[in-house]
């Protein structure tokens, strides 16, 4: 039995999921491989890491202050972890020191595994220092912020990456990064903190940009199919909004009622 008010949710979730999975299938079978516009911020990752290596200064990364089981920003955290994978590989390859600052204990084991793997794959396992390459700071947002700030100053980081769910500490971290002269790439789905990143960082992946980046950074090109699925879902939303607005103008509230059913 469907819950009242959830029919539209079930239908939309189902249709969107089906579209995304279909596109994933089509691109994995090479029937239709979409051309995805990549965010310049993603290309800037290797530039920033390379610059840090030239200067002989470290690279820092924060996957946010939201946990892995956060009821709103779990997707944000997951996307940040895939970006960590990309940054860690670049950093290990270029030979710059990598420092990952962790706030949430649930994110810690995952980040440790990702970074450790990145070092092992380049044959530099001995450079990974337990407790030091991936640093746990504090689950408290301000405890984390004060440590991350102090770290950026003391280590004089040259490239700083801020992804995932950051709250009010966003501007503090980004401005400190700007003060120490780091090149910064950031992203978040927290709409209240995005403006802070946008103003202070060199590149910012706005909302969905970050979630899509997680797909096209994957070594498997078929994953780009889901990004095209996202596009189709958005086009459906555009159509719904335009038709709905015309209907409302004509005096019919049918679409609004359907969406509330």
Binding to another protein (CB under 8 A) within 207-246 occurs at: 207-212, 214-215, 218, 220, 223, 226-231, 233-235, 237-238, 240-242, 244-246
Q: Which of 44, 53, 108, 162 is close enough to bind another protein by CB under 8 A?
A: 108
N- to C-terminal Cα separation, the chain: 14
Which of 50, 117, 122, 221 contacts another protein by CB under 8 A? Answer: 117
> What is the closest distance, in whole angstroms, from the C-beta atom of residue 96 to another protein in the complex?
20
Question: Shortest approach of another protein to residue 13 CB, angstroms?
Answer: 5
**Which residues lie across from 61 on neighbouring strands?**
100, 161
User: How long is the chain?
Assistant: 261
Q: How many CB atoms lie within 10 A of CB 126?
A: 8
| Cβ partners under 8 Å of residue 199, min gap 6 | 171, 174
Site for another protein contains 3 (CB under 8 A): yes
CA–CA dist 124, 117 (Å, integer):
10
Question: Which residue stretch of 43-51, 54-62, 91-99, 147-155 sits at the interface with another protein (rule: CB under 8 A)?
Answer: 147-155
Q: At what angle do helices 208-216 and 224-249 cross, to 10 degrees?
A: 150
Give dist(CA 164, CA 143) in Å, integer.
17
C-alpha distance from residue 166 to each of 72, 104, 114, 143 (Å)? 12, 11, 20, 13
Residue among 62 and 230 whose Cβ is closer to another protein: 230
Write down the least CB distance from residue 156 to another protein, Å: 10
Find the shortest distance in angstroms from Cβ 123 to another protein: 15
- What is the x/- site pattern for another protein, positions 16-45, by CB under 8 A? xx--xx--x---------xxxx--------
Residue of the chain from 43, 124, 127, 140 that contacts another protein (CB under 8 A): 140
């Amino acid at each position: 039995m469907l819950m009242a008010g959830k029919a539209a949710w079930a239908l939309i979730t189902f249709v969107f999921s089906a579209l995304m999975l279909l596109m994933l299938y089509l691109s994995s079978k090479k029937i239709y491989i979409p051309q995805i516009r990549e965010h310049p911020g993603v290309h800037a990752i290797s530039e920033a890491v390379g610059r840090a290596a030239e200067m002989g200064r470290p690279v820092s990364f924060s996957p946010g202050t939201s946990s892995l089981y956060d009821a709103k920003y779990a997707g944000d955290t997951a996307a940040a972890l895939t970006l960590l994978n990309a940054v860690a590989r670049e950093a290990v390859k270029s030979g710059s020191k990598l420092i990952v600052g962790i706030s949430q204990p649930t994110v810690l084991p995952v980040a440790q595994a990702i970074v450790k793997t990145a070092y092992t794959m380049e044959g530099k396992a001995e450079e990974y220092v337990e407790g030091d390459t991936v640093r746990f700071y504090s689950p408290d947002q301000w405890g984390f912020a004060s440590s991350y700030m102090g770290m950026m100053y003391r280590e004089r980081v040259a490239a700083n990456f801020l992804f995932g769910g950051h709250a009010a500490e966003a501007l503090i971290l980004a401005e400190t990064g700007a003060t120490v002269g780091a090149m910064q790439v950031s992203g978040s789905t927290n709409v209240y903190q995005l403006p802070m990143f946008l103003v202070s960082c060199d590149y910012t992946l706005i909302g969905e940009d970050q979630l899509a980046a997680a797909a096209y950074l994957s070594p498997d090109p078929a994953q780009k199919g889901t990004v095209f699925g996202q596009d189709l879902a958005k086009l459906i939303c555009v159509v719904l909004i335009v038709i709905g607005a015309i209907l409302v103008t004509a005096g019919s509230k049918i679409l609004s009622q359907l969406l509330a059913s």
